[in-house]
Structure 1
């Protein structure tokens, strides 16, 4: 049996105190327990739902397939990108992520640069990206003590379809009114500066060490290219949106020598490949296309909107 075939991953629902108990209309998922704030689409807990690896975690599949899955340039390490959906009902903490160098100083394999694609945004929605010009570390410490840190943050309005870049070192915060598709380096390292009085650990000194007063964070203007829209093309990831009509949509899986992920925003697609059974990827589901998968084809039964994600070499 050919093992280097595309497969769909089951999402993994993660509890967060700032999330929802009901994720409809995005997912048919309700809970009476802790609210769900994140849905991981890749990650060590996500398991294959189709193909010869059904039931195996993405970590197990990555270890088994190595370069055949990831591509020669990524070797046999971890799956390079962590992809999530975020559903904030309340404000997340004000936080910052370390870059690769700082993360490695503290024994972590890598830092965390990420980007946010707004699948939905209510009128007036905004996120915080960066510190206002001229603010000092001493002012930040004082504002944490007197609960005024928000006054020092750069607020960015968000509309549906916006792409926002959040490079490591950017002090940032997300609030209610948005649904975000987040793509990031495979790392869950977060330093909290401020948490609105919630009883969670803060990492003030590490946050101040990690933060940069000037970063490249902000909105990324979309660019049209070869039937798709390039949403972002940065150091760690390239993300495109493809709005396809009914019929053949195989342009979604142009060979790149790297693993690719297809996330369906609206509609559904069917994926076939040599030596594999055809499977469907519906709304808010994600499929993985191995770097060495052969004769992959994609069909859309009706019009669909798909986000293609792939890692960039570093």
Structure 2
């Protein structure tokens, strides 16, 4: 099996009506057209930006180098996680995502469980996460009809550094004022339940089929382990935060693909068998499964987010 070395991925900017025309200081990106709401970091259309695979899309790399990239026994699989940065200028629609079983009922490969890490948050930033306890599903129906669903949603304040788990089946919505790093199953399945009277399509039947009034969603408490923090460790993904500790193949080896995102600082990825490359804030590197010769070299105080897929 051909060995693969770490590489940087170029981001892909997605238009969204609730986004911004200027993403500075996070990205040097401005547009006079439709606003940008999401920056996809591991979408199948994202392309390698360094090394011998430069110019190839993540989908092409996954197809051509399945096990070398993803891990033993994973040939033929899609890249397992979709990582994005979200820039909400206004509140997003109220949504619910299906779990794997419901998604497969409708011919999709998987559902959508996700988490949000707050890279920044302004005073008053909040998300809606779940229906208030004790609310019957019939009341949710009525509230949508009467344009008052927001009254039934649990509002969760968001501060910089928070990790929030969004289990499949959770009714949720993102508000303005925070910049969120989202890690999710590779899926774009979203059922829109409520949109504040805006004239976009709703998916009420599927929303109520997917909705669960009690889920495991909520803020997660970090766990300190060997000089870093585990922010979340769930069925589909583990997300860690590293500060002040050198991240390398010696202390962060994995037999599955890893994603390394720079939340703060500037680093270099180095190894004896590949050309070093830089990683700046909001950039992401892919560490192929089993890579044994790499390390991050910090050039300033840094915060590194390490993301690993879990076996579902």
Could you tell me whether the CA contact under 8 Å between 1:253 and 1:297 is conserved in 2?
A: no
Could you tell me whether the CA contact under 8 Å between 2:254 and 2:290 is conserved in 1?
A: no
Partner of 2:92: 92
Which residues of 2 match residues 104-143 of structure 1 at below 5 A? 104-143=104-143
Aligned CA distance change for structure 1 residues 226 and 134 (closer, same or farther; 3 Å) = same
State the distance in 2 between where 1:179 and 1:302 align.
22
Quick one: which of 270, 288, 291 aligns to 1:290?
Answer: 288
State the distance in 2 between where 1:48 and 1:86 align.
21
The C-alpha deviation readout for 1:81-138, integer Å capped at 9, x for no partner, is: 0000000001100000000000000000000000000011111111111011122222
Could you tell me whether the CA contact under 8 Å between 2:122 and 2:177 is conserved in 1?
A: yes
Could you tell me whether the CA contact under 8 Å between 1:242 and 1:252 is conserved in 2?
A: no
State the distance in 1 between where 2:198 and 2:91 align.
11
- Is the aligned partner of 1:189 residue 2:189? yes
Aligned length in residues: 311
Partner of 2:270: 272
Deviation at 1:292, TM superposition (A): 2.7
State the distance in 2 between where 1:8 and 1:63 align.
18
TM-score normalised to structure 2 length? 0.97
State the distance in 2 between where 1:249 and 1:172 align.
34
State the distance in 2 between where 1:163 and 1:273 align.
31
Partner of 2:254: 256
State the distance in 1 between where 2:8 and 2:248 align.
17
The C-alpha deviation readout for 1:4-39, integer Å capped at 9, x for no partner, is: 010000000000000011111101111111000000
Could you tell me whether the CA contact under 8 Å between 2:243 and 2:302 is conserved in 1?
A: yes
State the distance in 2 between where 1:233 and 1:187 align.
19
TM-score normalised to structure 1 length? 0.96
Could you tell me whether the CA contact under 8 Å between 2:273 and 2:293 is conserved in 1?
A: no
Could you tell me whether the CA contact under 8 Å between 1:74 and 1:313 is conserved in 2?
A: no
Structure 2: 5+ residue runs without aligned partners?
Answer: none
Partner of 2:4: 4
Partner of 1:198: 198
Deviation at 1:141, TM superposition (A): 1.6
Deviation at 1:253, TM superposition (A): 6.1
Partner of 2:79: 79
Query: Secondary structure, in 3 states, of the residue corresponding to 1:215?
Result: coil
Query: Secondary structure, in 3 states, of the residue corresponding to 1:280?
Result: strand
- Is the aligned partner of 1:18 residue 2:18? yes
Could you tell me whether the CA contact under 8 Å between 2:97 and 2:191 is conserved in 1?
A: yes
Deviation at 1:268, TM superposition (A): 1.4
**Structure 1 outlier segments of 4+, above 4 Å:** none
Query: Secondary structure, in 3 states, of the residue corresponding to 2:160?
Result: coil
Could you tell me whether the CA contact under 8 Å between 1:263 and 1:308 is conserved in 2?
A: yes
State the distance in 2 between where 1:285 and 1:53 align.
17
Query: Secondary structure, in 3 states, of the residue corresponding to 1:72?
Result: coil
Aligned CA distance change for structure 1 residues 115 and 73 (closer, same or farther; 3 Å) = farther
Partner of 1:304: 302
Query: Secondary structure, in 3 states, of the residue corresponding to 1:232?
Result: strand
User: Over aligned residue pairs, what C-alpha RMSD do you find?
Assistant: 1.4
Deviation at 1:273, TM superposition (A): 2.8
